[in-house]
Amino acid sequence: MNYHHTNCDDCVVRNTAICSALSSDELAVLNSKGRMHRLSAGQTLVWEGDESLLVANVVEGVMKLSTSMGDGREQIVGIVYPSDFIGRPFGGRSLHSVTALTDAHLCAFSRRDFDGFAREHPDLEHKLLDRTLTELDRARHWMLLLGRKTAPEKIATFLLEMADRLSASTPAAGTTPGLFELPFGRQQIADILGMTIETVSRQLSRLKKEGIIALPDRRHIQIVDRDRLAEQAEIDGP
């Protein structure tokens, strides 16, 4: 893992990350406290049980939140996308490990520096609270996804979430609605959803055959019929 100084003017998540609540002058102060970390796929930023010493905005890449079970197995409890905030401000220990699923860029701050800055800027604290509530909703959604949904429902739900979170970072998405680039392979999707790779491949092939999605190549997926995919996920369409 390496790092260099941040530059908020060039940040691609400037308008969607928690720092969007700050003025230009406030942003300049926060910028002076941050560092850009680069992680390779598989590297862990935070380990479960460690004291929370670092917080960060995800600028690029996808990461997983995981916790260890008593028998050594890993349970993935969430996925983190660009513009998401990771870490535990205002003290405490991390309840999960944070590991890069893809190469990732993070705008990171020492927790002590960030806590002091947040206390002096109520708009940022409000944004943190809003993000915390959003993460709570996502955690409940994730529990339902892993615990109660069938294989077709899991795949459909996961594809909808990835499309919503990743379309903006796929260059061709502007001309091809519903298109996004997969940040990881089918084996990783299987690990995330608690399925086998054979089941993942079978479900994707079925959705393609039914005309609900298109698979232009192994790295891209296009949602062709979002309403039907939402029906299979058993959630309301847009």
Q: What is the pLDDT of residue 236?
A: 45
**DSSP secondary structure, 157-225, as one string:** HHHHHHHHHHGGG-GGGGTSTTEEE-SS-HHHHHHHHT--HHHHHHHHHHHHHTTSEEEEETTEEEES-
User: Does residue 237 register a pLDDT over 50?
Assistant: no
Residue 130 or 95, more confident: 95
User: Does residue 10 register a pLDDT over 70?
Assistant: no
User: Does residue 238 register a pLDDT over 60?
Assistant: no
Q: What is the pLDDT of residue 165?
A: 81
Q: For 37-80, write each residue's pLDDT tens digit.
A: 899 999 999 899 888 888 888 998 999 988 887 787 787 888 88
d(CA 171, CA 213): 19
User: Does residue 29 register a pLDDT over 90?
Assistant: no
Residue 238 or 212, more confident: 212
Residue 186 or 126, more confident: 186
Mean pLDDT, range 75-92, rounded to an integer? 83
Please give the domain boundaries of the chain with CATH numbers for all domains: 2-146 (2.60.120.10), 150-233 (1.10.10.10)
User: Does residue 169 register a pLDDT over 70?
Assistant: no
User: Does residue 173 register a pLDDT over 60?
Assistant: no
- pTM equals 0.74
Residue 182 or 169, more confident: 182
Read off the DSSP letter of residue 69: -
Q: What is the pLDDT of residue 7?
A: 62
